[in-house]
Amino acid sequence: MEANRKYKDTLFSKLFSKPQSLRELYNALADTEYGEDIEIEINTLENVFFNDLKNDVSFTIDDKYVVILEHQSTINENMPLRCLMYIARVFEKITDERAIYQEKLQEIPTPEFIVLYNGVKHFPSEQTLRLSDAYKGTEKSIKRFGDLDLTVRVVNINPGNNDELLQKSEILSDYTAFVERVRYNQRNGNILRTAIEEAIKWGIARGLLGTYLIEHESEVTNMLMTEFNIDIAKEVWQDEIREKYDAELTAKDAELTAKDAELTAKDNELVAQAALIKELQAKLAEHEKQAKPETAL
């Protein structure tokens, strides 16, 4: 974990950095109808880095729910563990540290954990990740010693997945369409910068993301250049690890195959020796039988 490295904000975190956009998104995700009179307090953790990824967005709505919201283009099965670390720090941030030492119960907002996925690899429309899936010591009843679990709702926001959800949030729908346009341009042979620049012009012509693309054109280009390049880097790292793992398995398989062949040869040798010993024993018995004088009647 490197805490001193700068990491540029993503387009997603920029778009959902204001209460009105978070309210719209939360209403779509939770099927609620919170209006502008409902307070939203943004408590995103700043300068918190885990493997070059920082907490995207966290906020409290109606003083009842505290939401950890992450956006990912690759699924990380360790998200429950990361969210556990995030929520602990958020509670530290929003809770009076003296209150936890009082005898009276300190009420806290209910935590909710959501990951919005828009990667290129196939993924279900929705899936739940559980912290307890990572536990090693599950042979005992953890109920006897207390219980801790954390579930993360992973929602696929790619076109063709959860379209009803996208219809409820214009900003999320526009963002999804814009990113898909960049990928469409790349699939048609454009280099990344050209793909982004064309997508920005395409989005502006269709009024996507309000005036944001017009006002922050160069910033959007830089953010997406960084974000997409990191995605590529991750894929390369994963491929390298997979190739290394496959090579190690191949070498291990070859080693085991050689040992199996060696053991088979030794087994065959032992079988041959056993057969030879049996043959010699038979000949010896026959020889002794022939050499033994006949008993007189």
Residue 7: its pLDDT value, please? 37
In what helix (H) or strand (E) does residue 70 lie, and over which residues does it extend?
strand 65-72
Give residue-wise pLDDT tens across range 114-153: 999 998 889 999 999 999 999 887 666 656 677 889 999 9
Break the chain into its structural domains and give their ranges: 11-135+145-239
pLDDT of 236 above 60? no
The winner for highest mean pLDDT among 95-99, 162-166, 280-284, 290-294 is: 162-166
Predicted confidence band of residue 202 (pLDDT cuts 50, 70, 90): very high
Mean pLDDT of 9-31: 92
Mean pLDDT of 14-21: 93
Please tell me the least confidently modeled range out of 170-184, 247-261, 266-280: 247-261
Predicted confidence band of residue 113 (pLDDT cuts 50, 70, 90): very high
Buried/exposed 165-186: b ≥16 CB within 10 Å, e otherwise: bbeebbbbbbbbbbbebbeebb
CA atoms within 13 Å, Cβ hemisphere of 145: 6
Which tokens is 86 given?
A: 């995030």
Any residues with CB less than 8 A from the CB of 53 and at least 6 apart, and which? 7
% pLDDT > 70, the chain = 84
Q: pTM for this structure?
A: 0.72
Give residue-wise pLDDT tens across range 51-97: 444 678 999 999 999 999 999 988 889 999 999 999 999 999 899 88
pLDDT of 279 above 50? yes
Q: Residue 114's beta-bridge partner residues?
A: 69, 153
Closest C-alpha to 12, from 126, 157, 186, 188: 157
